[in-house]
Copies of this chain bind each other. A is one copy, B any other.
Amino acid sequence: MPAIKDVYVAVIGAGGVGKAFLTQLEALSKRLTSPKISLIFVSRSKKVLYSPKYTALSYDNISTSLADSTQEPLALPQIIDFLAAAPAKVVLVDNTSSQDVADTYPGFLAKGISIVTPNKKAFSGSYTLWQSIFSAAASSGAKVYHESSVGAGLPVISTLKELVDTGDEVTKIEGVFSGTMSFLFNSFAPTEGSGGKWSAEVTKAKALGYTEPDPRDDLNGLDVARKLTILARLAGLPVESPTSFPVQSLIPKELENVASGDEFLQKLPEFDLQMEETKVAAEKEGKVVRFVGSIDVTKKEVKVGLEKFDRSHPIAALKGSDNIISFYTKRYGSNPLIIQGAGAGGDVTAMGVTGDLIKVLERLS
């Protein structure tokens, strides 16, 4: 029998973030004396590893053990049943970006299973899903944290929540929310020097692993729109979905339907002139162009797209693939509260997840 304070952890997803998280979880479980945390379930696509008797799994070679597992995969409702019947409190860590998993959060939460996750889909999908998630959590007392759904491990969501919870009035949120877009524009329109051609920068970013396999999945702006949806909702705006406000896509109309990312990259140079004109227009005003998201809470306006900034503006001065998020509030006045740093990557994303897990452990025990 587990002690009353013990906590079981179940992990769905063991890719880049998932692997980094498992490493951090192992270290955390060794460091913590109370509560004792046991990994009792881990799954990845069609593979699953668990003991029907809830015995703790070993962290040694867990990726290999999972890959070699011959256990029958469980459907999501079965996972809920398995975890709900556990003889200890359970935290589900969803390290996927799956909409299917996100859609079952209310089911997990209703059964008292807490959730921590970097998965944006749950919190940026329909507003109905958002409401179901938080009302299920409120009813059962289960916790749900998702710091890494915006800005990876940067303390963006916790800061916004604290501003709101302590009674500050958030008037505007603005920033660069995509590491890919940050890298692209910091190279294409640097504050010093002239930068390369747009298509060349996109090709370079892909080669360096800064884009999705098909760069259009970054350039359509949807990733940024999802993050804005989450922040806007936390700031009190009942945004219906990430497509319910203006989002500028950087994919030329003519290339929206080409078959592959490679074909897209091949044809992109034909459209360099458009982006070059945008860059030059900004330069003529002494500015640089950046891909930003902004939420005007007072006017209830959310938008994503290209904007021009003075070269000395913090958004213009960003480096590498860093994110920057500025919170304008009543208390902070004319100078915003700013958070800046790497907003993508396995280790820092996992850090946000581990940090959330610690918060849940402190609140459960």
Q: Which residues does A use to contact B, with CB under 8 Å? A: 24, 27-28, 31, 153-155, 158-159, 162-163, 165-168, 191, 312, 314, 317, 319-320, 322, 331-342, 345, 347-348, 351, 354-355, 358, 362-363
Contact = CB atoms under 8 A, between A and B. Distances in A.
A339 B154 CA distance: 10
> Which residue of A154, A320, A340 has the most chain B CB atoms within 10 A of its CB atom?
A340
Given A314-B317, A362-B363, A363-B363, A331 B153 contact: yes
Interface of A is mostly: mixed
A362 B31 CA distance: 23
A42 B363 CA distance: 28
Contact of A331 (B158, B314, B351, B362): B351
Given A31-B167, A163-B351, 4 more contacts: A27-B167, A155-B159, A320-B334, A363-B363
Contact of A335 (B168, B320, B347): B320
A342 B338 contact: no
Contact of A312 (B317, B332, B363): B317
20 contacts: A24-B167, A153-B162, A154-B337, A155-B155, A162-B351, A162-B355, A163-B351, A166-B351, A166-B354, A314-B314, A314-B317, A314-B340, A331-B342, A337-B339, A337-B340, A337-B342, A338-B340, A338-B341, A339-B339, A362-B363
Contacts of A28: 165-167
A363 B361 CA distance: 9
B166 A355 contact: yes
| Highest count of chain B CB atoms <10 Å: which of A168, A331, A342, A351 | A331
Contacts of A314: 314, 317, 340
A145 to B, nearest CB: 11
B317 A317 contact: yes
A166 B361 CA distance: 13
A187 B15 CA distance: 50
